[in-house]
Amino acid sequence: MKLLKAMATIASFTMLSRIAGMVRDMLTAAILGVGPLTDAFFVALKLPNLFRRVAGEGAFSVSFIPLYSKTIEQEGEEEAAKFAGQIFSIMGITLSIFSALVMIGMPWIIHVIAPGFQHGSERYDLAVTLTRLTFPYLLLMSLTALFGGMLNTHGKFAPFAAAPIIFNLTLIFSILVMAGFFPTAGHAMAFGGTVSGVLQLAMMIYFIRRHRILFHFRKPAFTEKSKKLFQLMGPGILSAGVFQINLFVDMMLASLLPAGAISYLYYADRLNQLPLSMVGIAVGTALLPMLSKSLASNNAAESKDLFNRSLEFCFFVAIPASVALLIVPYQMVTTLFEHGKFSAHDTLQTSYVLMGYGVGLPAYVASKIFMTAFWAHQDTMTPVKISVITTLSNVMLSLLLIGLLGVAGIAVSTGLVGWLQVYLLHRKLKGNDAMEFDDRLRVVFPKIAICACLMAIVLSILSHVLQPYFIQALPIKILALLALLGGGAIIYALSIHATGVLKFNDIRKYLKK
């Protein structure tokens, strides 16, 4: 029940963040539309976010939390506080220097991350300027991730889960209020991203003090523990962020296509990230500290149950979400984004991309659980080998499919490669008794798949019946989308109940507990 409670807490705040993010994206689509400024802004947002998710939150969190948990268990809170203080100092100095160098070298770096942006073009000049405004966000969010990891280890999941809400609200404020003080709304949003990093870091420090979690500022020193952390982080940078790296590769390839391709990938990914973040982040964030403690205490039975129930929950949500992205992408995109400068053509192209990402949604959610199992064992080397294989596969397959499907081919490649990653991770875990599939999961998984198929049939019928309403005014579109997705969700829920995957009485029991 601790796992379920933690997942529910994280998922709830993630949902609020994604709702705020969707409002932000709707405003971005309406005000910036699709074009050179939008492409440049999304590149500027992607670069620090890539480093943050891969190194700052991804590799750092999966390396820091097991070591921090082990220090608390074996040496006590005082030693753990000193360890955290040393890491804070090392990260602060290292990332400050790194950020300064990257900002100075941005004119050359843009050629690498967006090779299709020609020197002197509007997209190139805007990308250099906007990325310099957003890049300090990396330092601020990496330090935020350290305090967030400490809070999660102590069972306080809400503050770090709520932090992204500040990011989205700050960008909404920037585009609505601050745009008049900057050359463009894109400049205002880029600056707002860095401001949000300051606010999120301040919030984490507040909650560390409020919950009286010990933290001692220390001079930077490479002790045995800190060396172990960075040894784990090295390979973890790739293994923790394979999906983000694949998305970054997608952006690089899209920069070679006509203007707008990067924007199509971004808007589609925002819808794809809604279920991916809610489930993947919620389960992975809650599972890592619990599984680390369970393995540290040699409790194989508890570890196996945590692993299997996490997979069960992931498939329970991710499979029907994937079905929705594959069956009704057009209806979602036209309702949420087709306003202002976002045209019907943009809707069609974004829908094709969204279907490609939908192919791999369950795979990337499941991969989060498999990787968490390796990280809890302090094994970051195995996932990195698999990450290299999948990333190279993504590049080669993308180059092949671009010629056939255009920008949508990039997303299809990313989706298919996700299943390759799941297969390789599962194969490497075979033989580990604590990470084997149990009987309950083997029975539940086929039932979930059948229920999702029934949902797909209903969505197809409803989308045909409701199609005339998706060319009406926005309020009518919203009602039609709610009816469409709501009808599919009701059929899925009834099927889940009828097959015994999850009874309504079970839900009531969980809510009471």
Residue 506 pLDDT level (bands cut at 50, 70, 90) = low
Helix axes 300-327, 261-275, angle to 10 degrees: 130
Q: Which residue has the higher pLDDT, 418 or 221?
A: 418
Query: Residue 484: is its pLDDT beyond 80?
Result: yes
Looking at every residue in the chain, the average pLDDT score rounds to 82
> ∠ at Cα 373 (91, 74), nearest 5°?
60
Query: Residue 119: is its pLDDT beyond 90?
Result: no
How do residues 469-478 score in pLDDT, each as one tens digit? 988 888 899 9
Residue 188 pLDDT level (bands cut at 50, 70, 90) = very high
Q: Which of 36, 26, 37 is nearest to 338 (CA)?
A: 26
Query: Residue 435: is its pLDDT beyond 60?
Result: yes
Lookup: tokens for 184: 């463009």
Rounded Cα–Cα distance for residues 454 and 423 (Å):
26
Mean pLDDT, range 432-444, rounded to an integer: 78
Contact 26, 339 (CB under 8 A): yes
Lookup: tokens for 450: 């059948």
Assign 216 to helix, strand or coil. coil
Q: What is the DSSP letter of 215?
A: -
Mean pLDDT, range 91-116, rounded to an integer: 86
- Minimum mean pLDDT range among 1-5, 45-49, 127-131: 1-5
What single letter denotes the amino acid at residue 394? N
Residue 510 pLDDT level (bands cut at 50, 70, 90) = very low
Residue 311 pLDDT level (bands cut at 50, 70, 90) = confident
Q: Which of 237, 376, 355 is nearest to 307 (CA)?
A: 376
Cβ of 450: how many Cβ atoms within 10 Å? 14
Contact 23, 172 (CB under 8 A): yes
Query: Residue 242: is its pLDDT beyond 80?
Result: no
Rounded Cα–Cα distance for residues 211 and 417 (Å):
42
Q: What is the pTM of this model?
A: 0.68
Query: Residue 468: is its pLDDT beyond 60?
Result: yes
Query: Residue 50: is its pLDDT beyond 70?
Result: no
Lookup: tokens for 110: 């843009």
pLDDT of residue 316: 86
Query: Residue 173: is its pLDDT beyond 90?
Result: yes
Rounded Cα–Cα distance for residues 53 and 164 (Å):
12
Mean pLDDT, range 454-462, rounded to an integer: 94
- Minimum mean pLDDT range among 5-9, 18-22, 55-59, 156-160: 55-59
Give the contacts of 427 (CB within 8 A, at least 6 positions apart).
none
Lookup: tokens for 451: 């229920």
Residue 302 pLDDT level (bands cut at 50, 70, 90) = confident
Rounded Cα–Cα distance for residues 114 and 430 (Å):
40
Lookup: tokens for 166: 């500040």
- Tell me the DSSP string of 26-83: HHHHHHT-SSHHHHHHHHHHHHHHHHIIIIIIIIHHHHHHHHHHHHHHHH-HHHHHHH
Query: Residue 507: is its pLDDT beyond 60?
Result: no
Assign 114 to helix, strand or coil. coil
pLDDT of residue 485: 92
- Minimum mean pLDDT range among 88-92, 146-150, 502-506: 502-506
Residue 45 phi, psi (nearest 5): -75, -35
- Minimum mean pLDDT range among 132-136, 263-267, 318-322, 379-383: 379-383
